[in-house]
């Protein structure tokens, strides 16, 4: 099950004025609290955060919303988190704050392939793209598709699993969402 | 006795130290007269620097300083149009005729002189600038189309530093003008200033020990701008300045932060500023200038 959360909608509900820009730490923290509140009442396995009606996302809000949400998810009830509707400048902010924390998140880019934002190895990025392309993969599938030795494919899949960038079912790994 | 502080004729980040030196020791005990009669031009950094001085004196319960307005009608009109006199009237006893501000500011002003007192003001500043920034940053300076967002992010993070670290309010202004002597090109300049506790005091309790005898205004600026440290224990802090540096690297821009008696800059190839200037005349709080040059034709 997927819980889709419109971040722009939450911003307008949270702020005193109808702002389009996600700026300042208190605003980011307030929006994150609303997200956590929604998720606490949901049985979903995956949270899809939709940024498509947000204009600006500054570093402080990227930190307060995305990084702290991932950190909290890791320590409470683990969910898969996917971002959608991000523009290039918004990637910049999220990429920087997640790299700082050694975190990563899957993102669906408008008119583009699913991608990883944050801190993962180059191999894990390639493996992520490959799993998305194949629809599902075990270590052997990945090794075959990329021409890698199995230990290398295994290590990359393990990294994706640890970062909750793919959904594990037995030996198989599935993309969180399809673009 | 009244101490006279002359406003430099060409008042920008370079001549700021001359202005700061005029005050002598802080807090002030003498009556002050800020004399702007000979002023011919002031950058946003200069304008909000004067307001910061007035604010610092007011917050130290000093006697309200006098301020003589520029003689030049053109300069007076410009300062009125960017909102300087509106705020200066609250901090200084103004002497000289001040023109009424026009309903709309000059077209090269992206953001009038604006107070930053709370996070709500940061929202307002970002909303306001996004309406006009794209035309100038992309159309006039040749930055990539989505540069407006990155510019606004830099503005947002700079203003938040006031609210989170200064312990008091501050000022911001954004303007486009031509760097004739240094660059020969148009630049967009974000100037942010506060009269607060400064970087050294803000970081002292958490970082001074690590620096030992080196600790001072310069070391505090180095810790914040180069090492990305923050006074907050939260490990996610300190990323705003890091993000700004990333944008400036892409745009060949410059950031310069002055606090107390030091100024630290990340200096692009087109500028000859010192990376670290120490033992400068003391000035309260912190002053930040972010300079983004028009992109050269080949890089567009």
Show residues of chain A in contact with B152, CB under 8 Å: 21, 23, 56, 58
Q: Is it the case that residue A18 has pLDDT exceeding 80?
A: no
Query: Nearest residue on chain B to A15, judged by CA atoms?
Result: B120
The encoded tokens of residue A178 equal 């399809």
Q: Is it the case that residue A136 has pLDDT exceeding 90?
A: yes
> Based on the number of CB atoms within 10 Å of its own CB, is A154 exposed (0-12), middle (13-18) or buried (19 or more)?
middle
- Given a contact cutoff of 8 angstroms between Cβ atoms, the answer to whether A32 and A14 are in contact is no
Question: Which residue among A16, A27, A93 sits closest to B153, beta carbon to beta carbon?
Answer: A93
Question: Which residue among B127, B146, B242 sits closest to A21, beta carbon to beta carbon?
Answer: B127
Nearest Cα to Cα of residue B194 among B218, B162, B224:
B162
Report the alpha-carbon distance of residue B96 to residue B99 in Å, rounded.
Answer: 10
pLDDT at position A175 = 94
Nearest Cα to Cα of residue B32 among B76, B72, B65, B78:
B65
- Given a contact cutoff of 8 angstroms between Cβ atoms, the answer to whether B142 and B188 are in contact is no
Show residues of chain A in contact with B126, CB under 8 Å: 21, 23, 56, 58
pLDDT at position A113 = 80
Residue whose structure tokens are 């002055």 = B258
Domain assignments of chain B as residue spans, ordered by start: 2-299
Q: At what angle do helices A68-75 and A25-40 cross, to 10 degrees?
A: 30
At residue B284, φ and ψ (nearest 5 deg) are: -65, 155
Show residues of chain A in contact with B119, CB under 8 Å: 24-27
Distance from CA of A164 to the nearest CA of B (A): 21
User: Which residues of chain B are under the pLDDT cut of 50?
Assistant: 300
Contact (CB<8Å) A96/B246? yes
The encoded tokens of residue A137 equal 């993969």
The encoded tokens of residue B57 equal 């004196």
Beta bridge partners of B290: B190, B255
- Given a contact cutoff of 8 angstroms between Cβ atoms, the answer to whether B52 and B193 are in contact is yes
The mean of the pLDDT values for chain A is 91
Query: Nearest residue on chain A to B156, judged by CA atoms?
Result: A23
> Mutation test of the interface with chain A: which of B150, B236, B248, B250, choosing the one with the most A Cβ atoms within 10 A?
B236
Residues written for chain B: 300
Report the alpha-carbon distance of residue A83 to residue A46 in Å, rounded.
Answer: 11
Rounded percentage of chain A residues whose pLDDT exceeds 70: 96
**Distance of alpha carbon A6 from the chain centroid:** 14
Nearest Cα to Cα of residue B56 among B256, B283, B261:
B283
Query: Nearest residue on chain A to B247, judged by CA atoms?
Result: A92
Q: Which contacts (CB < 8 Å, 24+ apart) does range A129-133 have? A: A131/A157, A131/A160, A131/A166, A131/A173, A131/A174, A131/A175, A132/A175, A132/A178, A132/A179
Show residues of chain A in contact with B235, CB under 8 Å: 100-101
Q: Which domains does chain A have, with CATH numbers?
A: 1-119 (3.30.750), 120-179 (1.10.10.10)
The encoded tokens of residue B289 equal 């200038």
The encoded tokens of residue B122 equal 């940061």
> Mutation test of the interface with chain B: which of A89, A103, A109, choosing the one with the most B Cβ atoms within 10 A?
A89
pLDDT at position B134 = 79
Show residues of chain B in contact with A23, CB under 8 Å: 122-123, 126, 152-153, 156, 160
Residue whose structure tokens are 């307002």 = B124
pLDDT at position A140 = 97
**ipTM entry:** 0.83
Report the alpha-carbon distance of residue B206 to residue B195 in Å, rounded.
Answer: 21
> Mutation test of the interface with chain B: which of A22, A27, A59, choosing the one with the most B Cβ atoms within 10 A?
A59
* Cβ-Cβ contacts under 8 Å for B240 (sequence gap 6 or more): A58, A59, A60, B157, B158, B160, B161
- Given a contact cutoff of 8 angstroms between Cβ atoms, the answer to whether B274 and B265 are in contact is yes
Contact (CB<8Å) B119/A25? yes
Report the alpha-carbon distance of residue A166 to residue A128 in Å, rounded.
Answer: 8
Contact (CB<8Å) B123/A101? no
Contact (CB<8Å) A24/B160? yes
The separation between the first and the last C-alpha atoms of chain A, rounded to the nearest angstrom, is: 16
Contact (CB<8Å) A92/B150? yes
Distance from CA of B126 to the nearest CA of A (A): 8
pLDDT at position B50 = 98
Nearest Cα to Cα of residue B206 among B191, B223, B222, B218:
B223
Distance from CA of A42 to the nearest CA of B (A): 28
- Given a contact cutoff of 8 angstroms between Cβ atoms, the answer to whether B52 and B289 are in contact is no
pLDDT at position B104 = 63
Question: Which residue among B153, B164, B235 sits closest to A59, beta carbon to beta carbon?
Answer: B153
Question: Which residue among A24, A87, A101 sits closest to B123, beta carbon to beta carbon?
Answer: A24
> Mutation test of the interface with chain A: which of B127, B129, B147, B235, choosing the one with the most A Cβ atoms within 10 A?
B127
* A34-47 burial code (b ≥16 CB/10 A, e <16): bbeeebeeeebebb
- Given a contact cutoff of 8 angstroms between Cβ atoms, the answer to whether A91 and A116 are in contact is no
> Mutation test of the interface with chain B: which of A23, A31, A87, choosing the one with the most B Cβ atoms within 10 A?
A23
Q: What's the whole-model pTM score?
A: 0.89
pLDDT by residue (tens digit) across A26-57?
999 999 999 999 999 998 889 999 999 999 99
Nearest Cα to Cα of residue B172 among B125, B231, B123:
B125
Report the alpha-carbon distance of residue A156 to residue A166 in Å, rounded.
Answer: 11
Distance from CA of A160 to the nearest CA of B (A): 23
User: Would you place residue A179 in the very low, low, confident or very high pLDDT band (cuts 50, 70, 90)?
Assistant: very low
Give me the total of CB pairs closer than 8 Å, taking one residue from chain A and one from chain B.
84
The encoded tokens of residue A124 equal 């894990």
State the architecture of B2-299 in CATH terms.
2-Layer Sandwich (3.30)
**3-state secondary structure (DSSP) of residue B99:** coil
> What is the sign, positive or negative, of the torsion defined by CA atoms of A9, A11, A17, A18?
negative
Q: Which of A13-27, A96-110, B61-75 has the lowest mean pLDDT?
A: A13-27
Report the alpha-carbon distance of residue A5 to residue A47 in Å, rounded.
Answer: 7
Question: Which residue among B126, B150, B236 sits closest to A97, beta carbon to beta carbon?
Answer: B236
Nearest Cα to Cα of residue A131 among A150, A149, A109, A146:
A146
Nearest Cα to Cα of residue B28 among B283, B235, B204, B230:
B283
- Strands A46-50, A80-86: pairing is parallel
Interface of B with A (CB under 8 A): 119-120, 122-123, 126-127, 130, 146, 149-150, 152-153, 156-157, 160, 164, 235-236, 239-240, 242-243, 246
Give the CA distances from residue A79 to residues A42, A100, A167, B2, in Å, rounded to whole numbers and listed in that order: 11, 21, 10, 67
Q: Quote the longest CA-to-CA distance of chain A.
A: 56
């Amino acid at each position: 099950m997927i819980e889709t959360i419109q971040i722009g909608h939450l911003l307008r509900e949270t702020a005193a004025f109808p702002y389009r820009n996600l700026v300042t730490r208190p605003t980011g923290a307030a929006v994150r609290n609303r997200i956590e509140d929604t998720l606490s009442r949901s049985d979903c396995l995956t949270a899809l955060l939709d940024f498509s009606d947000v204009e600006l996302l500054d570093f402080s809000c990227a930190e307060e919303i995305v990084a702290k949400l991932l950190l909290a998810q890791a320590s409470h009830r683990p969910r898969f988190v996917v971002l959608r509707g991000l523009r290039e400048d918004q990637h910049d902010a999220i990429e920087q704050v997640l790299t700082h924390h050694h975190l990563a998140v899957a993102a669906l880019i408008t008119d583009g392939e699913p991608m990883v934002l944050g801190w993962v190895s180059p191999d894990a990025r390639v493996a992520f793209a490959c799993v998305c392309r194949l629809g599902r993969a075990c270590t052997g599938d990945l090794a075959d598709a990329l021409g890698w030795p199995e230990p290398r494919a295994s290590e990359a899949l393990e990294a994706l699993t640890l970062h909750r960038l793919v959904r594990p079912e037995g030996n198989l790994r599935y993309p969180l969402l399809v673009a | 006795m009244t101490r006279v502080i002359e406003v430099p004729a060409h008042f920008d980040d370079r001549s700021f130290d001359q202005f700061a030196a005029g005050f002598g020791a802080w807090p002030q005990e003498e009556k002050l007269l800020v004399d702007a009669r000979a002023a011919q031009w002031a950058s946003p950094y200069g304008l909000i620097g004067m307001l910061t001085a007035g604010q610092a004196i007011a917050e130290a319960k000093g006697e309200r300083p006098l301020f003589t307005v520029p003689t030049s009608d053109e300069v007076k009109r410009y300062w009125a149009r960017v909102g300087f006199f509106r705020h200066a009237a609250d901090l200084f006893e103004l002497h000289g005729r001040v023109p009424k501000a026009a309903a709309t500011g000059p077209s090269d002003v992206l953001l009038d002189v604006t107070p930053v007192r709370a996070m709500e003001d940061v929202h307002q500043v970002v909303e306001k600038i996004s309406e006009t920034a794209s035309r100038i940053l992309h159309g006039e300076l040749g930055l990539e189309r989505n540069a407006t967002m990155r510019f606004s992010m830099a503005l947002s993070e700079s203003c938040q530093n006031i609210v989170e670290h200064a312990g008091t309010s501050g000022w911001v202004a954004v303007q486009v003008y031509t760097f004739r002597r240094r660059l020969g090109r148009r630049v967009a300049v974000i100037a942010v200033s506060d009269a607060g506790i400064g970087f050294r005091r803000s970081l002292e309790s958490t970082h001074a020990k690590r620096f030992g005898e080196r600790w001072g205004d310069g070391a505090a600026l180095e810790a914040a701008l180069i090492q990305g440290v923050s006074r907050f224990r939260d490990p996610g802090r300190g990323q705003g300045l890091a993000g700004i540096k990333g944008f400036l690297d892409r745009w060949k821009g410059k950031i310069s932060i002055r606090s107390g008696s030091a100024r630290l800059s990340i200096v692009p190839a087109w500028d000859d500023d010192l990376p670290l200037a120490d033992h400068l005349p003391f000035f309260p709080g912190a002053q930040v200038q972010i300079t983004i040059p028009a992109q050269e034709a080949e890089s567009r």
